Amino acid sequence: MQHEFYRDTWVEVNLDAITHNVKAMKHHIGENVEIIAVVKANGYGHGAYQVAKTALDAGASILAVAFLDEAIALRNSGIHAPILVLGATRAENVDLAIKYNITLTVFSLEWLYEAKQYIQKDTINLHIKLDTGMGRLGVRNAEDLASLMTFVSGSSLFAITGIYTHFATADEIDLQYFNNQYEKFLELIDSISHENILVHCGNSATGLRFPGKLFNAVRLGISMYGLSPSLEIKNELPYSLQEAFALQTKLVHVKKVPKGTKVSYGATYEAREDEWIGTLPIGYADGWLRSLKSSEVLVDDKRVELVGRICMDQCMVKLPYKLPVGTKVTLIGKQNNEQISVDEVAERLDTINYEVTCMITSRVPRMFYRNKSIIDVSNPLLTNMTREC
Ligand SMILES: *Cc1c(COP(=O)(O)O)cnc(C)c1O
């Protein structure tokens, strides 16, 4: 793993926060419910490998990702724990899943017919996905489930090791739709025998709010990263979450400009007086989107305003006074008593916290902290370069 980067913009991932969040959930749901740590999308932008390792050490026993590629990447980085792919996998790639000992999700009989042709002798482990109201992936009724079960029970190529569903509204105050989905799930799983397999329906919101409704596993995503599944339930969380994600940069240029000076593309910002303007080496190609213009960042423990349009690789900030080049600037995270939370950035963008950490691109290196010291750095840019030469 590469331990260097040459630009002063980075994500800090506090692995102790991840440990806290996993342990708190484990304590909340009890020893008999397993934690499936959801590390899709590079661990919601935090770094899948380090988050996976941390979650497993903290009490998670299974990992989940969205796509087979993500699962293979984890295997290639040395993760041996069970991995479940939540999304659809091409039937023709079932042999790869077997080779890497990865569990796939099945949701149609046609997929099984097709997959069968690509399996030589070994067995593929499968979790059945039921669609109880999410309308995304899943078997939708008892008849289809029965024919799927009949097909697999007659074949040694398929082993059903789990069955699950996903809620559309577990993070909302109104529980009617959630309860309907839960009832439908009960009905469907009761129509088949499900002893000795994993049965799971809960995401973070369900785990936090309804620890008694989880069957024997919970799929823990957003709250493992220390973020609330929604603003609606943020005030009724059963334990405190610790945010793991911070986005940092540094002033790379500082100048005093006279009143009337224009800043950035379109010359849309004009200095209202003689002003100190700082330049930050982060832009929309890093996921710091153009619509974040005029938003606040932290410098010298204070909130200050971004000015002018955000460029692809840089943006400008209005400083309260002269500050030296190299001064740390926090775009997400804390400086002393000030904090810009992921939720605050989500609100500015009119989106959800999930999207904010995912949108910070792989151009930004991730630095992993334990006990306030750096234990690892991941920088796909330089890692790939090294491999190619
Ligand atoms: C992403 C995902 C999760 C995790 O949900 P959170 O709200 O982040 O806890 C759980 N289950 C499925 C099927 C998912 O796709």
Domain ranges of the chain: 32-224, 245-378
Q: Same topology for domains 32-224 and 245-378, yes or no?
A: no
294 confidence band (pLDDT: 50, 70, 90): confident
pTM over 0.85: yes
| 32-224 has CATH 3.30.2290.10 classification | no
User: Which is catalytic among the residues 99, 239, 265, 322?
Assistant: 265
- How do residues 258-281 score in pLDDT, each as one tens digit? 999 999 999 999 999 999 999 999
Q: Which of 203, 241, 352 to mutate to test the pocket of ligand 1 (most atoms within 8 A of CB)?
A: 203
Ligand 1 and 207: CB distance under 6 A: no
- How do residues 21-49 score in pLDDT, each as one tens digit? 999 999 999 999 999 999 999 999 999 99
User: Which is catalytic among the residues 26, 40, 184, 250?
Assistant: 40
Ligand 1 and 43: CB distance under 6 A: no
- Work out the mean pLDDT of the chain and round it to a whole number: 96
pLDDT given at position 388: 43
Active site residue 23: no
Ligand 1 and 132: CB distance under 6 A: no
**pLDDT exceeds cutoff 70 at 231:** yes
The answer on whether 387 is annotated among ligand-binding residues is no
Ligand 1 and 229: CB distance under 6 A: yes
3 confidence band (pLDDT: 50, 70, 90): low
- How do residues 315-353 score in pLDDT, each as one tens digit? 999 999 999 999 999 999 999 999 999 999 999 999 999
Q: Which of 166, 218, 234 to mutate to test the pocket of ligand 1 (most atoms within 8 A of CB)?
A: 166
Three-state DSSP string of the chain: CCCCCCCCEEEEEEHHHHHHHHHHHHHHHCCCCEEEEECHHHHHCCCHHHHHHHHHHHCCCEEEECCHHHHHHHHHCCCCCCEEECCCCCHHHHHHHHHCCCEEEECCHHHHHHHHCCCCCCCEEEEEEECCCCCCCCECCHHHHHHHHHHHHCCCCEEEEEEEECCCCCCCCCCHHHHHHHHHHHHHHHCCCCCCCEEEEECHHHHHHCHHHCCCEEEECHHHHCCCCCCCCHHHCCCCCCCCEEEEEECCEEEEECCCCEECHHHCEECCCCEEEEEECCCHHHCCCHHHCCCEEEECCEEEEEECCCCCCCEEEEECCCCCCCCEEEEEEEECCEEECHHHHHHHCCCCHHHHHHHCCCCCCEEEEECCEEEEEECHHHHHHHHHC
Q: 245-378 has which CATH code?
A: 2.40.37.10
For residue 219, which atom of ligand 1 is closest to its CA?
Answer: 10
- How do residues 122-154 score in pLDDT, each as one tens digit? 999 999 999 999 999 999 999 999 999 999 998
- How do residues 73-123 score in pLDDT, each as one tens digit? 999 999 999 999 999 999 999 999 999 999 999 999 999 999 999 998 899
389 confidence band (pLDDT: 50, 70, 90): very low
For residue 164, which atom of ligand 1 is closest to its CA?
Answer: 13
Active site residue 265: yes
